[in-house]
A = this chain, B = another copy of it.
């Protein structure tokens, strides 16, 4: 008998775990399988970008990474001088100031996977679904997948059938070890995937347990060699190109007289290739080392030539005349630089691909794990809320619309950056085949907005109400976008909140709670709990006209919006920053969470006297909720957040901003009555009314 599950996730790396975390928080019945025996223990991805840390923080696990990680603040560029000897050319900040409260950090992927597993476990028991619990099922591979296309529009159907095979430990352990050190070659693009051969090898064996699963949705987070993608056929093949550049990676505790070993460094040697230094946690340092003597020119790479010794010797040559040695090596791997991206991210909005399964590139800019987790972060709440019948199913269209664009930008960035870094430094201005070091360093410095993830700007859709003039048709991708955009009713008025841009993430500034004067990053009032947020920038509510307007808005919201979209049991804890709860503090009346940010003096406002109950919802057991009214003013000990200035809102005008459950701005409109219908329209396009 086949079992049933709402969502089946294939692959328990960072992308798969991010989807699982979302679904665990929303109480969705889901399973997550992985072909390996255990999580990653060393090596692999290590870069955390600012936006990723914000996202992890919204689940309450950002601080764990932030605390353990090595943070990078400065990058130094080392180029050959006129004698061909490397020397420090210049220093630059590793992060642009004020983009985020987080900065680029480094910690190995295995720790992140642990934090995900802890956070998923912490979601249970879930109030909406006490029986379900997502646990990673290891040593399991899918062996067949089919979809009943006639049922894809039926909410109640489980149109996908997947066969799963449970492997023995022996079958699940990669056999490609080349040395007695931990290596990542079996995951590298220098190696073919072992799933097809494992399937073939175990076909018909009686010790292999099989089961059939019926699922509403399947998400392939199974990496660059994705079995899910391969099974979906030719339309899903990735396109792009490989280069001849081969790079090795070493995680070591270095013993060296190179002076910048605890800085991020970009070293171009005169003729021995390039080296990137990434200082890591626990005294580890990651070295990315160009292997100029192992070429992929015109054919397959001879993998037997790639050993830790060969990679280390190449590093010594590049960094000379400085000495480099080590006692402890934690992990090593090698890869061939290439950029490939899939054309389709989803089949019939029922089967989805995320992460390396749809885009691969070189790892040096610390993007891979981040973009993969952000794919999954974009997808998880949409599938979860569709399963709960809160969100319209058509919203699933926006996954490919939003994330394919990012994948293409990533590929374009990596294409440029990896060639500049792998290229031989130009000897002088006449050396046309060499790379200009100034061009390289400028390209690096210009890339921060993109690499931090803060620059992400999603296309217009029902979820992103840009003003009409932003929807000029330019390309095939944009044509597609426009098809979706045509369904959009609501329109944003951008000047009202110049730093809250529809399609971009809502930024965070410090505000102070009206009730207890505690300073908060506004992001901390917006955890990833599946709720939409309506931020009311009301201006000075101690003025009678403002107060009246805001209370009229409250009455209108209450009658016309919130009541249409009541809260279903959504999330185990309203606030991951609130610690353990003895009882649900989630007394909100609606899936839409209303946050009021005003500019009156805190002492001039009395919550119960002055403000409509929509801003302080009442619960018969818990009394009023005092946590939703915030003030933009000086705090007692932590300075002034200047939030209105930060969000670009004029206190005299005010603004209403809709923030999606993933923290991206959906709509900016006026707090005056003309804006209210935009709010109603936006939610009408996105949510299913009760």
Contacts and interface: CB of A to CB of B under 8 A. Distances in A.
B328 A621 contact: yes
Interface string A59-72: 00001000110111
Contact of A515 (B93, B97, B263): B263
A294 interface: no
A585 interface: yes
A204 interface: no
A206 interface: no
A282 interface: yes
A178 B124 CA distance: 34
Contact of A68 (B282, B283, B578, B609): B578
A606 B95 CA distance: 23
A281 interface: yes
A281 to B, nearest CB: 7
Interface stretch (A5-13, A251-259, A458-466): A251-259
Interface in A312-330: 327-328, 330
A580 B118 CA distance: 15
B68 A257 contact: no
Nearest to A279: B516
A262 B515 contact: yes
Given A327-B621, A585-B283, A636 B67 contact: no
Nearest to A102: B637
Contacts of A98: 637
A513 B261 CA distance: 13
A583 B74 contact: no
A259 B608 contact: yes
B636 A259 contact: no
Contact of A74 (B73, B516, B579): B516
A626 interface: yes
B518 A636 contact: no
A62 to B, nearest CB: 12
B253 A579 contact: no
Nearest to A606: B259
Interface string A482-525: 00000000000000000000000000000001011110000000
Most chain B beta-carbon neighbours within 10 Å: one of A70, A254, A282, A635: A282
Contacts of A71: 516, 518
Contact of A582 (B94, B255, B282): B282
A176 interface: no
A259 B604 CA distance: 12
A39 to B, nearest CB: 14
Interface string A593-608: 0000000000100111
A254 to B, nearest CB: 6
A257 B608 contact: yes
Interface string A39-78: 0000000000000000000000001000110111110000
A626 B577 CA distance: 33
Nearest to A254: B623
Interface of A: 63, 67-68, 70-74, 91, 93-95, 97-98, 103, 111, 253-257, 259, 261-263, 279, 281-283, 327-328, 330, 513, 515-518, 577-583, 585, 603, 606-609, 620-624, 626, 635-637
Contact of A95 (B72, B73, B283, B636): B636
B516 A262 contact: yes
Nearest to A327: B621
Contact of A516 (B257, B263, B608, B636): B263
A327 B622 contact: yes
Contacts of A63: 63, 67
A637 B579 contact: no
A103 B74 CA distance: 32
Nearest to A258: B608
A17 to B, nearest CB: 19
Given A73-B518, A328-B622, 20 more contacts: A63-B63, A67-B577, A68-B578, A74-B517, A94-B636, A95-B637, A103-B637, A253-B621, A253-B623, A255-B624, A259-B606, A259-B607, A259-B608, A262-B513, A262-B515, A262-B626, A263-B517, A282-B578, A282-B581, A283-B585
Given A67-B577, A74-B636, A257-B608, A585 B282 contact: yes
15 contacts: A67-B579, A68-B579, A71-B516, A73-B518, A73-B635, A103-B637, A111-B580, A259-B609, A261-B515, A262-B513, A282-B581, A283-B585, A327-B621, A327-B622, A330-B582
B516 A579 contact: no
Most chain B beta-carbon neighbours within 10 Å: one of A515, A582, A635: A582
A78 to B, nearest CB: 14
A198 B518 CA distance: 47
A330 B263 CA distance: 51
A623 to B, nearest CB: 4
